[in-house]
């Protein structure tokens, strides 16, 4: 009776595991009801194939081919995305399971004397343990593939590496070692009890550590998102205030300009050319105090650049801007604030500490091949990367120092990269984004 129960549970679990992996890995149609029906329908068909082979008649190759065929049909008819992924991912998933199954079963047969066929068909304790370990390994591998596919794992973050790679591997090693010791001790009752307790304790401790590390990673991500929201709110407030200031300045200059033009006209009529030239110089000086606002097709981009430009002008920084005609479109407008705001703020923060004559920076947004590039450049008096290669902040405020992490998170979101380098006395903060990964090009 036990062997029948184990077979039914295993045969039910595997179709759900395979279909679940493809469902999470691939893109899905918008009709949720249709997705659920297709998932349950094909899982049931595969369950029937496995159950028949387990309880009635077992033909390894035929049953495997039927199982794979149903999985392929489910992927092609019920899921969306790249056609090659929909064709090959079911095959890859099946091969992963096959490799794990054969490797582990041959390993067990080496120590137990049972053949691979007997481990697959005979209701022994070795078979039951093999089923548990093999399916546990499959779940781990499939879950890691899904996380990598959905960009939920950042290999540059130590917390993600520990939580999603190192700790799961440790759990599997604990299970494998426990099973190995059980085999070589021929399943002595006392040893099995001790090993089971030790194994469960170690897995529990590992699970607690995994939870703690995952929570730290989530809290850091939440903190970064909160900082982005605060930046965007500050940007809106600052832009509104500065727009009012600029309107007042322009109105005042417009009024003064009328008087100055009348005065200049009068001086020229009286042939007082030097006095007229002097007034022209004063007018030119006043006009320089009013920067020309950036006007692109993206209002939020206008806002963030105008705010940064106003900051630079107020701090006597020579700020040049070059923007390509074709605009970058992001899935979230806050990404523009994140990139431009953090790049320019870092440059301005450095430039205010050096001599006014060297306060130069420029912002370039342009296209190079199949990439969009945002390059913020500022003059440096001495190498920043030599003194601070990791670009660590010296400020005590916990929000300081997150700017670079924010840039990297935005780049990762669009499968891009961030580069920092120095050339000819200038520091470059550059973010490179693939055109095909931006909403307009999808």
In terms of domains, do 66 and 200 share one?
yes
Identify the pLDDT of residue 76. Answer: 92
Q: Domain boundary at 220, 252, 274, which? A: 220
Nearest to 379 by CA among 394, 358, 365: 358
- Phi, psi at 80, each rounded to 5°: -125, 175
Q: What is the pLDDT of residue 45?
A: 92
Instruction: Please indicate, yes or no, whether residues 322 and 211 belong to a single structural domain of this protein.
Output: no
Number of domains forming the structure of the chain: 2
Give yes or no: residues 304 and 431 share one domain: yes
End-of-domain residue from the set 179, 203, 220 = 220
| Cα separation, 133 vs 63, whole angstroms | 22
Q: Provide the CATH number for the domain around residue 435.
A: 3.30.565.10
Q: Looking at the structure, do residues 30 and 148 belong to the same domain, yes or no?
A: yes
- What backbone phi and psi angles, to 5 degrees, belong to 82? -60, 130
CA 292 distance to own-chain centroid: 36
Residue 253 in domain: no
> Is residue 341, in this structure, part of any structural domain at all?
yes
* Residue 236 is assigned to a structural domain of this protein: no
208 and 300 belong to one structural domain = no
Domain check: are 13 and 162 in the same one?
A: yes
Domain co-membership, 158 together with 41: yes
pLDDT value of position 40: 93
pLDDT in tens, the chain (442 residues): 667 787 888 889 999 999 999 999 888 888 889 999 999 999 999 998 888 877 666 666 788 888 899 999 999 999 988 888 889 999 999 998 888 888 777 777 776 666 666 666 676 777 777 788 888 888 888 888 888 777 666 666 676 777 777 777 787 777 777 777 776 776 677 777 777 787 777 778 777 877 777 777 677 777 766 766 676 666 666 665 666 666 666 667 666 777 777 888 788 888 887 888 887 877 777 666 555 666 677 777 777 788 888 888 888 899 988 887 666 666 556 677 778 888 898 899 999 999 989 999 999 988 888 888 999 999 998 888 888 877 766 554 444 445 677 788 788 777 788 999 999 899 999 998 877 656 554 4
Query: Does 315 lie in the same domain as 215?
Result: no
- For residue 404, give the nearest of 392, 421, 396 by alpha carbon: 392
| Domain assignment of residue 395, yes or no | yes
Give residue 90's pLDDT. Answer: 92
Q: Phi, psi (5° rounding) for residue 215? A: -65, -40
DSSP string, 292-347: PPP--S-HHHHHHHHHHHHHHHHTT-EEEEEE-SSPP--SSTHHHIIIIIHHHHHH
Give 158-170 as a DSSP string: HHHHIIIIIHHHH
For the range 161-167, what are the long-range contacts, defined as Cβ-Cβ under 8 Å and sequence gap of 24 or more?
Answer: 162/213, 163/210, 163/213, 163/214, 163/217, 167/206, 167/209, 167/210, 167/213
Q: Are 144 and 25 members of one domain? A: yes
Q: Is the pTM of this model over 0.75?
A: no
pLDDT of residue 441: 47
pLDDT for position 42: 93
211, 317: one domain? no
- Domain edge (last residue) among 220, 247, 279: 220
Give the residue numbers spanning the domain of 331: 296-441
> Same domain, yes or no, for 171 and 71?
yes
In a domain, 290, yes or no: no
Say if 176 falls within a structural domain: yes
| Residue 282: inside a domain | no
* Whole-angstrom distance, CA of residue 46 vs CA of residue 15: 6
Residues 194 and 307 in one domain: no
235 domain-assigned: no
């Amino acid at each position: 009776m036990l062997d029948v129960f184990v077979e039914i549970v295993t045969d039910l679990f595997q179709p759900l595991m395979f279909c679940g992996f493809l469902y999470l890995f691939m893109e899905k149609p918008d009709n949720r009801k249709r997705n659920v029906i297709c998932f349950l329908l094909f899982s049931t068909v595969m369950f029937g194939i496995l159950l028949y082979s387990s309880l009635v008649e077992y033909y390894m190759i035929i049953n495997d081919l039927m199982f794979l065929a149903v999985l392929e049909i489910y992927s092609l008819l019920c899921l969306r995305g790249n056609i090659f992924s929909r064709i090959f991912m079911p095959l890859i998933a099946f091969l992963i399971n096959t490799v794990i199954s054969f490797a582990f079963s041959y390993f067990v047969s080496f120590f137990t004397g049972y053949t691979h066929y007997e481990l697959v068909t005979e209701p022994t304790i070795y078979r039951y343990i093999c089923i548990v370990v093999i399916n546990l390994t499959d779940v781990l591998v499939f879950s890691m593939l899904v996380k990598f596919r959905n960009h939920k794992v950042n290999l540059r973050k130590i917390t993600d590496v520990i939580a999603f790679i190192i700790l799961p591997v440790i759990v599997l090693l604990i299970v494998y070692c426990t099973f190995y010791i059980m085999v070589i001790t021929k399943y002595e009752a006392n040893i099995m009890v001790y090993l089971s307790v030790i194994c469960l304790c170690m897995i529990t401790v590992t699970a607690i550590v995994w939870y703690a590390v995952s929570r730290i990673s989530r809290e850091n991500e939440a903190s970064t998102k909160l900082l982005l929201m605060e930046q965007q709110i500050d940007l809106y407030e600052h832009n509104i205030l500065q727009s009012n200031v600029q309107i007042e300045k322009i109105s005042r200059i417009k009024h003064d300009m009328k008087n100055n033009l009348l005065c200049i006209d009068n001086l020229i009529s009286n042939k007082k050319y030097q006095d007229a030239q002097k007034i022209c110089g004063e007018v030119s000086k006043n006009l320089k105090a009013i920067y020309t606002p950036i006007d692109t097709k993206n209002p939020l981009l206008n806002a963030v650049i105008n705010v940064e430009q106003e900051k630079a002008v107020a701090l006597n920084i020579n700020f040049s801007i070059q923007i390509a005609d074709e605009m970058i479109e992001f899935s979230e407008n806050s990404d523009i604030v994140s990139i431009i705001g953090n790049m320019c703020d870092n440059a301005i923060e450095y430039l205010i500490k050096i001599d006014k004559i060297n306060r130069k920076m420029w912002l370039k947004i342009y296209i190079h091949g199949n990439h969009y590039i945002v390059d913020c450049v500022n003059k440096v008096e001495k190498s920043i990367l030599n003194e601070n290669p990791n670009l660590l902040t010296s400020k005590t405020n916990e929000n300081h120092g997150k700017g670079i992490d924010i840039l990297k998170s935005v780049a990762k979101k669009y499968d891009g990269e961030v580069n920092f380098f120095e050339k000819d006395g200038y520091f470059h903060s550059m973010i490179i984004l693939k055109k095909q990964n931006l909403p307009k090009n999808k």
